[in-house]
Structure 1
Amino acid sequence: MKLKTRYIIFFVFFVVFLISAIFILKYSLGYRYDFKKNIWQKTGILILKTDPKDAVIFLNGKLQKKKTPTKIINLFPRDYSIKLQNSGFFDWQKKITINPNLTTFVENITLFKKDQTFTLLLDKNIENFKLFSNGKKIIFFTKNLKGFDLWSFNFETKEEKFIKYFPFAQFIKINNFSFNSSEKNILIEGNTKLGVTNNLILDLEKPENIISLNEFEPNLQNIKWHQKNDKILYGVVKTKDHFFLIEINLKDQKIISIISEATNILDYFFDKASLYYLVSDLKNKNISLKKIEENNSSVKIGKKITQLPFSSYFFIFSPTNILSILDKENQLLYLISPQSKIQKIILQAKNISWSKDGKKILYYNDFELWICYLNLEKLKESSYELLGRWTQEILKAIWYPQENYFIFNSDNLINAVEIDGLDQRNIAQLLKSEKIKDLFFSFEDKILYFIKEEKGENKLYKMEIK
C-alpha cells in the first residue's frame, strides 16, 4: 500500500473518529439534533406520576411506550401537549414547557373515577353531625316522633352505635353541638318547648353523666370550649346594662368574669396568649375589634386595635397568627394581622377553608371560587387567583386531602377542580344528583361522603372517587 493511500485512509478514519467523538460528546452532554430547527439543542426530561398509576401517556398526540409513573428523556425544548388516560377515569390534559438541561416534574396528578355510583351508608334522618379530628368516626343526631337520638358511626369498622336519647321535654330543637379538646365530651346547645335555651354537657364514654350549664348560668350564649382544658368553657351573659364574657370551671364549679362591656359582645377568639373579641359601638355605628393579653387578669375592657363596618361578625378558626373574621350578611372575609402595625385585607367570601400549612385559603361566594396565597409577614402583599365561576350557587367547597384539587357542591352537582392553573384546569364532574346538602372526607382520601335529601330526610351516602 502506497504511503499516500495510507495517509488518506488515516485521514478518513481520523475525520470519522473526530465527528463520532463530537456526536458522542454532545449526546453525553444531553444534546440532540433538532431536524425541525436544524440545530443542536440540549434536551430536557419529563417525569410523570399519577394516582392511581398505570395511566396511558400521549405526548403531542403520540402514544408513549411506558405508563405512569415514568421518566421521558431526550425531549427537545418546546411546548408539549400531555394527555393521560386510565380506563374508567376522567382524562387529564395539560400543556407543559420543557426547558433545556432541566427536569420538569408533573407528579401531583389525581385521576378521578367517572360514571360514579353512590351508596347509602346511613339510612337515618341526620339532623346535625360532627366528624372526629382523626376522620375515623362521625357523631350525629336523628329525630323521631318523641325526641332526638345521638349516634356514632365508625368508618373503619362500619359500627353504628346508639349513645343517648333526648326527649322533646329536653330539646324541641338542637341548634349546635361541639367537642372539647379531647373529644370525650360534647356541648349540646338547643331550645325547649317554651323557647328556653338548654345547654348540656354529655360524657360520650359515660352518657349517663350529664352536666347542665343552666345551673351555672341560665342566660349563657355563644359558648365555646377552652382549646386545651377539658374542664373550662366560656360564654357571653347579658344583664340589664352590661354584657359579660365569663369563664366556667367545671372542676372547681366556679364562674369568673373576664370581660365587661356596655354593648353587645358579638364573638370572641383565644389565640395563644391573647383574647380577641368583637363589640358593637352603637354611638359610632361600627364594630370594634379589641384585645386583652391572657395573663392580664385585672383588665375587664380590652384595648381597641381596629374597627369594622357595622354588621354581624364571627371569628373563623385560623391556624396562623392571622385573625379571620367573617361578615356573613355581606359575604366579606376580613383577614387581620394584629401585630404592632395592623394589616388588613378584605375578601369577597361567604366561607373559607384553610390549607394544612396555613399558607393558603380556599374561599368562595355564591358563584366564584378563589385561592389566597398568604404573605404572613406582609399581609397586603398576599396574592389571589380565581379558580372559576359557576352559574349554580356554590354551597360548600373543601380541599381534596392532597390539596392539589378542591371539591365543591351545588344543589345537584359535585365537582373536583384542579388547583394548578397552568394552561387549562382539569375538572371532573363526580356526581350529578338532586338536593346535595353537605360533603366531607374521612381518614381515606379515596372516599367522599355527602349528605343528600331524600323524601324530606337527610341521608348519608358515600362515593369512591379514585
Structure 2
Amino acid sequence: MHHRARTFLFFILICIFCIGTPLVVLFSQGYRFDIKQKKIVQTGALHIKTKPSSAAIAINGKQKRIRSSRFLYSGTVFRNLVPGNYNITISSSSSLPWEKNISIEPSLVTKSTHVALPLSPPPTKTLFTSTSTFRYIASTNDEAFLVSSDKKSLFSQSLNDTSQKQIFPIPTATTTLEKSEIILSAFPSASTHNTLVNTNKKSYVISNGETISLEKPLQTIANQNKAPVSRLLWHPFDDAILFGFTSSANYWIHLPDMTIGTFLKEKIIGWSSAGSRAYFLSAQGTLYEFSTQLQPTSTPLTTIDPTLFSRFPLAIHALGDNRFVIHEPSGILLLIDIPSLHSELVDTAVKHLVISSDASRMAYLTNDNQLSAYSLEPTVDDSIYSQYEKIRLADIPENANPLAIYFANDNWYLVLPTEWGAFITEIDKRLPLNLWVISFEKKIVPVAFRSQDAALIWQMDSTFSASRLLP
C-alpha cells in the first residue's frame, strides 16, 4: 500500500477510535439517544417481581416477556429505559390484571416488587360440612371456635383440614351447663393451649383436657370489692394468669392454686400487650405498664386526656418501644409515641383498623368507607414512606359494608371481606391504585383470614370453606 494511503487509513482509524470509544463508554453506562428529545440521555431501569412469576408484562402496551416460573425467582429487570413515564400492565390466566404508571429516572432502578395478581375465581376448598348448625365466635391462626345452634356446646374447628372436636363441655367430663345457661364467648390464651369460656352465668377455663370453674375466685373478688368482675383477660404470655376487671379495682388470678391479688385500684378502660409486657389505661387517663411478676407492680408511662373518649372499652395496640395506637369504639384513632414525644389524632371516624405484623404500618376504614394506610415507621421499598405519613388509598362503595381488614402479601396488600366476597387493594402511592373485587355467587359469613396462604375462611349454612385470594 502506498505511503499516502497508509497515512490516510491511519488517521481514519484514529478518528474512529476517538469518536467510537466515548460512544462505547456512554453506551455501557446506559446512555442512549432519545428520538423525542433528539439528544443523548442516561437511561434507567425497572425491576418487577410478580406472583405468579409466569405473568406477562407489557410496557406501554408492548409485551416484554412471558416466562415460566422457576426456583428462587427474584424478578425481572428491564434496562436501558429512556427517562419518562411508562404504563405497566401485568396479566396472567385465572388472575385479575395489575396496572401502574411508573416514572423512570436517569441512572436509577425503579422497583415494583410486590405485584400479586388476585386469583379469579379463587380456588375454594371445603373444610367441613355438618348436619348441625354452628355459629362462629372467635379464631386463631389455625383454628376457629364454633358454638352450636342451641349455644350449649363449643367446638374447635381446624382451619387447615377437616378435623373438629368438642372442647366444652368436655364429653368425658362431669361438667354440664345449667338448663338456662348458654355460651356467649370464647378466648384462647396467648399460647392457644388454654381457652376462656364465658356463659351468661359463669366462666370456665379449658386446660389440658380439663374444665376449671372460676366461680369461687370470681365470687371472692365480688365479695371483697362489692362489685362483680366485668371482664376477664388473659396474661400476655403466662397461661396460668387471668386479669379480672371491676368498676373500681382490678385483680389477677393464678389458676394453678387460685391465688388472688390486686394490681391497680382504678377503673380500666383499655388494655394491650406486647411480648412479655401488659399495658392498662385507667379512666383518669394514665397508661400503666404491668410487670410480669406474680406480685405485680404498675408503672405509669404517660397521661392521655380522658375527655377524648366517650365509649369503652378502648382497643389499645402496643407497637413496642412504648409506642401505642388507641382506637375508641366511636371512631377516634390516636397515636402515642412516648420516646419521640409525638402524639397525633389520626382520625375521628374509624370503624375498622389493622396493624401489620411488623408494626411498620396500619390501615383503617372510616365510617364513610374511605380506606387509608398510615406509616408507623420510615420505610424505603418500592416507594419511600416517611414516618407518620398518611396515604389515602381508595373509596370503598357505600353498599359494600366490609366487615374487617387484613394484611396480606408481606403487608403490602389489604383484604376487606364482605358478605358477598372481598375487596383487595395494594399499599402504593403511585397511580392508578389497583382495587380488585372478588365476588361469590351467594351470601357468605366471613370467619377469618389465613395469612400464610392468603385464604379467606367463610361459612355458608353448615359448610365452612377456604378460598385462596392471592397466589
TM-score range, shorter chain: 0.7 to 0.9
Q: Secondary structure at the match of 1:317?
A: strand
Q: Compare 158-167 and 309-318 and name the one that shifted more.
A: 158-167
> Deviation of residue 119 (structure 1)?
4.4
Question: 1:128 is matched with which residue?
Answer: 136
CA contact (8 A) 1:177 1:186 kept: yes
Tell me whether 1:386 sits opposite 2:392 in the alignment: yes
Counterpart of 1:282 in structure 2 is none
* 8 Å CA contact 1:171, 1:190 repeated in 2: no
Query: How has the CA–CA distance of structure 1 residues 47 and 4 changed in structure 2, closer, same or farther, with 3 Å as cutoff?
Result: same
- For structure 1, the 5+ residue unaligned runs are 192-196, 280-286
Which range moved further: 386-395 or 287-296? Answer: 287-296
Q: CA deviation at 1:17?
A: 3.4
**TM-score after normalising by structure 1:** 0.82
Equivalent AA in structure 1 for residue 464 of structure 2: L
Contact kept? 2:271, 2:278, Cα under 8 Å: no
Q: What letter is aligned with 2:373?
A: I
Structure 2 gap segments, 5+ residues each:
69-74, 171-175, 220-227, 379-385
The CA RMSD over aligned residues, in Å, is: 3.1
- Structure 1 or 2: larger strand share? 1
1:284 paired residue number: none
Other structure's SS at 1:385 match: strand
Tell me which residue corresponds to 1:288.
Answer: 285
| Equivalence for 2:418 | 410
- 1:370 corresponds to which letter in structure 2? S
Check the 8 A contact 1:141/1:148 in 2, yes or no.
no
| Matching residue of 2:47 | 47
SS of the equivalent of 2:326 reads strand
SS of alignment partner, residue 249 of structure 2: strand
Measured after TM superposition, the shift of residue 308 of structure 1 is 2.3
Counterpart of 2:195 in structure 1: which amino acid? I
Task: Classify the secondary structure of the residue corresponding to 1:444.
Answer: helix
Indicate if the aligned counterparts of 1:129 and 1:138 stay in contact, CA closer than 8 A: no
Written as runs of structure 1 = structure 2, the 5 A alignment for 1:95-110 is 95-110=101-116
| Mapped partners of 2:342, 2:431: distance in 1 | 37
| Residue aligning to 1:312 | 311
Contact 2:190/2:234 (CA < 8 Å) preserved in 1? yes
**Pairing partner for 1:423 from 423, 431, 434:** 431
Superposed, which structure 2 residues align to 1:56-205 within 5 Å? 56-65=56-65, 67=67, 69-116=75-122, 118-124=124-130, 125-132=133-140, 135=141, 137-145=142-150, 147-165=151-169, 169=178, 172-191=181-200, 197-203=201-207, 205=208
- One-letter amino acid matched to 1:408: L
| 1:291 and 1:305 in contact (8 A); partners too | no
For residues 368-420 of structure 1, give each alpha carbon's deviation from its aligned partner in whole angstroms, at most 9, with x where no partner exists.
211111259xxx97221111112222321111142121000233341111111
1:308-457, aligned counterparts within 5 Å? 308-309=306-307, 311-313=310-312, 314-320=314-320, 321-328=322-329, 330-338=330-338, 343-347=343-347, 348-366=349-367, 367-374=369-376, 382-390=388-396, 391-392=398-399, 393-442=401-450, 444-452=452-460, 454=461
Partner in structure 1 of residue 35 of structure 2 = 35
| AA aligned opposite 1:396 | A
Aligned equivalents of 1:274, 1:161: Cα separation in 2: 32
1:184 maps to a residue whose letter is H
Q: Which moved more, 1:350-359 or 1:112-121?
A: 112-121
Shift of 1:40: 1.6
Which region of structure 1 is more displaced relative to structure 2, 28-37 or 304-313? Answer: 304-313
Asked if 2 retains the 8 angstrom alpha-carbon contact of 1:83 and 1:91, the reply is yes
Q: Secondary structure of the residue that 1:23 maps to in structure 2?
A: helix
Hey, what does 1:283 align to over in structure 2? none
Contact 2:137 2:185 in 1 (8 A): no
Distance in 2 between residues matched to 1:421 and 1:451, nearest whole Å: 35
Q: Is the CA contact 1:79–1:95 (under 8 Å) kept in the aligned structure 2? A: yes
SS at match of 2:452: coil
Distance 1:171 1:245, change over 3 A: farther
Residue 20 of structure 1 pairs with residue 20 of structure 2: yes
Change (3 A) 1:202 1:222: same
What letter corresponds to residue 31 of structure 2 in structure 1? Y
Compared CA separation, residues 357 and 299, structure 1 to 2 (3 A)? closer
Q: 1:341 to 1:405 in 2, by over 3 A?
A: closer
**Counterparts in 2 of 1:296 and 1:189: CA distance versus 1, 3 Å:** closer
SS across alignment from 2:285: strand
Deviations 1:85-104 (A, max 9, x none): 11111111111122222222
Rounded to whole Å, the distance in 1 between the matches of 2:19 and 2:234 is 78
Query: TM-score w.r.t. structure 2 length?
Result: 0.82
Does 1:229 find its partner at 2:238? Answer: yes
Distance 1:116 1:70 in 2: 26
Residue 229 of structure 1 aligns to which amino acid in structure 2?
Answer: D
Whole-angstrom distance in 2 between the partners of 1:360 and 1:138: 26
Q: Is the 8 A contact 1:51 1:111 kept in 2?
A: yes
> C-alpha displacement at 1:447, in angstroms?
2.7
Q: Tell me, yes or no, if structure 1 residue 250 matches structure 2 residue 249.
A: no
State the aligned residue count. Answer: 433
Q: Is the 8 A contact 1:226 1:233 kept in 2?
A: yes
- What is the percentage of aligned positions where both structures have the same residue? 21
1:341-377: CA deviation from partner (whole Å, max 9, x where unpaired) = 573424231231111221211112231211111259x
Distance 2:417 2:189 in 1: 29
